[in-house]
Amino acid sequence: MRTLFDVRIACSCWLLALAATGLVTIGVQAADGRQPEKVAEASELEKVLPGPEVRFADAQADEVPDFQRHVTPLLGRLGCNGRACHGSFQGRGGFQLSLFGYDFAADHAALWEANSGRVDQEDVDESLIIAKPTDADLHEGGKRYDKGSWQYNLIRAWIAAGAEYEDEQPAQLTRLEVLPEEIVFGGKGQQQTLRVIAHWEGGTSEDVTTLCRFTSNDDAVAEISEEGTVRAADPGDTHVVVAYDKAVVPVPVIQPVSDLVGPRYPEVATTTTVDALVVQKLRKLGIQPSAVCSDADFLRRVRLDLTGTLPSPDEVQRFLDDPTEDKREAVVERLLGTPEYAAWWATRFSDWTGNSEAQLNNVLPIRGVASKVSFPWQFIKHATQCDDAIFCGPGHWDSAG
């Protein structure tokens, strides 16, 4: 049976659809309601390669950097493939990279563009991806790293080794691990530094913290530095987001808004899994849920949420007079099958997308896929019943009667 929860998750389906295309991997965090006591076994951490800031600190390091695993993420960390620079839809200064570096082959080709001078194997230090970012006067985007730094050593070593990219067999990131998986602060000003480990197909694991991009969904609750240090601000709940390669991992950050935490939190009865998860989150935040609303309030709210309309007086009276215990579930089920529901939510999605892929520049990480992601979203379930017909797949409608 469908519930109101089905509607709440509808707005996230486009992201699931994008993940289904393989363009983006979504990191899913465990929801056991507990702060992890151990972020990882010591034996596992011992097998992790140190980060590039350690491995390329010496200019004479023997390791050859990998374009996908090291060079492209570093360009992202430096801001080169961001919206305000070469990752914008028109590029910058005749040089265009894919937004946030999700198209490795295209970016490699752009660096090797004939007569561009971006990669110069005859005189490595004259390569523009070294000469410009290390010179504030020469580079419109300002100085991005210093000569002799690990960033300089990494890019220089890659060019000196041939500036190659294995397009036919790209590396496969199997998991992006962020430690800790959840942060619960006890007060303003507290800090927690994240550690990010990339696990690759074949068994290699490496610390990539210094190659990741970090953002906060709400700086008023939690700020995060370029180095991945989270600082508590005001009480509340948000996520910091870690991006590397094709993985995007959200990390919950919570600071209770009251002292109703731990043993001081009251017992709250839950009847569904969704209710239990909601109360679990409220318990961490120190928020006591409101009492169950009246039938009249429920009908008004569910009508506005699902159809954008208010119930008629007759509908209100029928609902109030209904003695059945499952009448709230029944009204949700009924409203999900109405034309008003379809019209209301189609209008909302149209407002968000503009019904035009041209309006979605810099919304999705890859250009040209916005018009495609709706299909896996629509067909996540094999068949969806709608009024008197059943949609069984692309191009197939069968009568329900």
Q: pLDDT (tens digit, 9 = 90+) per residue, 7-20?
A: 343 434 434 444 44
More confidently predicted of 107 and 220: 220
SS3 category, 346: helix
Q: What is the pLDDT of residue 389?
A: 43
Domains assigned to the chain = 4-12+292-383 (no CATH), 31-45+172-255 (2.60.40.1080), 65-160 (no CATH)
Lowest mean per-residue pLDDT among 22-26, 177-181, 349-353 = 22-26
| Nearest one of 211, 275, 265, 240 to 76, comparing CA atoms | 211
pLDDT tens digits, residue range 82-98?
Answer: 766 776 666 666 777 77
Range from 22-36, 132-146, 273-287, 294-308 carrying the lowest mean pLDDT: 22-36
Tell which wins on pLDDT, 18 or 122: 122
- Please tell me the predicted confidence (pLDDT) of residue 175: 94
Single pTM value for the model: 0.67
Of 213-227, 247-261, 356-370, the one with minimum mean pLDDT is 356-370
Choose among 243, 241, 255: nearest CA to 101: 243
- Give the integer Cα–Cα distance in Å for 244 and 74: 10
Interhelix angle 295-307/339-353, nearest 10 degrees: 50
**pLDDT tens per residue, range 384-398:** 444 444 444 443 334
**pLDDT tens figures, 163-203:** 888 877 788 899 999 999 999 999 999 999 999 999 999 89
121 backbone dihedrals φ, ψ, rounded to 5°:
-80, -20
Q: What are phi and psi of 147, to 5 degrees?
A: -65, 135
Contact indicator for 376, 383 with CB cutoff of 8 Å:
no
Bond into 323 cis (ω within 30): no
Stronger pLDDT, 125 or 52, i.e. the higher one: 52
Buried residues in 102-137 as b, exposed as e (16+ CB within 10 A): bbbeebbebbeeeeeebbbeeebeebbbbbbbbeee
* pLDDT of 370: 61
Per-residue model confidence as pLDDT tens digits over 196-233: 999 999 899 999 999 999 999 999 999 999 999 999 99
Q: What percent of the chain has pLDDT over 70?
A: 73
Residues 2/274, Cβ–Cβ less than 8 Å: no
Q: Give the residue-averaged pLDDT of 126-151.
A: 79
